[in-house]
Amino acid sequence: MVTPFAFWADHATTRKSTGHSPFFMAHGVEPILPFDIIQATFLVPNLTQPLSTEDLLATHIHQLQKCPADLAAIHDCITTSCHTSIRQFKKHYTNTIRNFDFMPGSLVLVHNSSLTMDKMKLRYLGLMVVLQCTRNGAYQLAELDSAVSRLCYAAFRLIPYHARSLSFITVTHIVNGNDLTSHNNDDTSVGGAGLSNDELT
């Protein structure tokens, strides 16, 4: 069972006489080893001194075999490292991380990711409405005129919109420009009836 790995490790090992591996001399390119780059680091034992050719081939064979026990140990190491990194990140940014958990219908502003040192550009874009939260935690948004954006926005780019005032005026009638002009003329005639421009000043 070890023979195929031994032949492959021998063909992929650099020769002292030529400075190249047999695979490179045959094909002109270095071989891509059939294991993941991240796993390759974990599959190599702790080396503190130069190895003989025999020991080097044995190390390559062990890498190529990818024994189940080694893969299980690699999985545990990577998982532990990821959880440790997450805990350190949360601890370092505990005062700045905010999970707003926007619900559908929430009004939000979108951070302008193209913002550079130009202070004349808008820092936030919007106003936009939250439609839904995708499986990966991004948000699908729409404009106030119901135009749905094809982009999905990461949660860290969104901030909630807070109105300046909670009071509002109920709209009962919409007037056009002509009605507004006639209304202004009526106010002028009532407020300044019988007065000339000199008297008003």
pLDDT tens per residue, range 82-130: 888 888 988 888 877 777 888 888 889 988 876 655 666 667 887 888 9
- In the prediction, which pLDDT does 184 show? 58
pLDDT tens per residue, range 149-179: 888 888 888 888 887 766 665 656 655 556 6
Instruction: Classify strands 124-133 and 107-111 as parallel, antiparallel or unpaired.
Output: antiparallel
Is there a cis peptide before residue 43, judged by omega within 30 degrees of 0?
Answer: no
Q: Tell me the domain boundaries of the chain.
A: 3-66, 107-160
pLDDT tens per residue, range 12-58: 888 878 888 888 888 888 777 656 566 666 677 777 788 888 888 88
- pLDDT-derived band at 196 (thresholds 50, 70, 90) equals very low
pTM exceeds 0.85 for this model: no
- pLDDT-derived band at 183 (thresholds 50, 70, 90) equals low
